């Protein structure tokens, strides 16, 4: 099947995503001018977003990856399990957590607490998507791509039963 032909309503088109990611990178570049921020992608969903974001950040930077699990199928389990920890120390570093989507906020709250214990100089969050209507925890999002309605979205790194992460746009399951 052609990845350019949407199979469901398109929430965000490729051009919209590219434009907003570029704007976010410009803001991060300004905010962290003169530093070397450390970006931490939350796998698996954030890898496409992080790749595009860091290629547009006009600063020297370093990268790392974490993996956590808090979903069973399409629903949040309410519990977070650490699957892959950081490979590099972050003490004294300017750290930016890169998330695909902030839904309930439970996973992000866990990550913020977990990483704050490692004493970074600063800890910020860049999220491609946010669903405030589902929020159960009040968590900060310093750099936000898009606020969206409560729908199960996928594409651009987000999966639908482990498929369609490679779509260049974001779509949703049919109602």
- Mind telling me the catalytic residues? 103
Q: Rounded to 10 degrees, what is the CA torsion of 38, 92, 118, 111?
A: -30
Collect all residues with Cβ–Cβ distance below 8 Å to 150 and sequence separation of at least 6. 131, 133, 134
Q: What would you report as the CA-atom Rg of the chain, rounded to the nearest whole angstrom?
A: 16
Instruction: State how far the alpha carbon of 85 is from the alpha carbons of 80, 92, 104, 134, 139, in Å.
Output: 13, 18, 22, 27, 21
Torsion sign over Cα 139, 143, 145, 147: positive
Three-class SS of residue 116?
Answer: helix
């Amino acid at each position: 099947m052609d990845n350019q032909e949407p199979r469901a309503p398109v929430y965000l088109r490729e051009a919209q995503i590219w434009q907003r990611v570029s704007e976010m990178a410009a803001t991060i570049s300004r905010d962290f001018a003169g530093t070397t921020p450390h970006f931490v992608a939350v796998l698996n969903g954030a890898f496409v977003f992080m790749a595009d974001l860091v290629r547009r950040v006009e600063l020297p930077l370093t990268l790392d990856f974490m993996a956590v699990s808090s979903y069973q199928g399409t629903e949040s389990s309410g519990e977070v399990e650490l699957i892959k920890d950081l490979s590099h120390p972050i003490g004294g570093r300017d750290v930016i957590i890169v998330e695909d989507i902030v839904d309930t906020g439970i996973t992000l709250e866990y990550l913020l607490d977990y990483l704050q214990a490692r004493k970074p100089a600063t800890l910020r969050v860049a999220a491609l998507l946010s669903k405030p209507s589902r929020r159960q925890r009040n968590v900060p999002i310093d750099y936000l791509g898009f606020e969206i309605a409560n729908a199960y979205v996928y594409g651009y790194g987000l999966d639908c039963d482990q498929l369609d992460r490679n779509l260049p746009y974001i779509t949703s399951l049919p109602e």
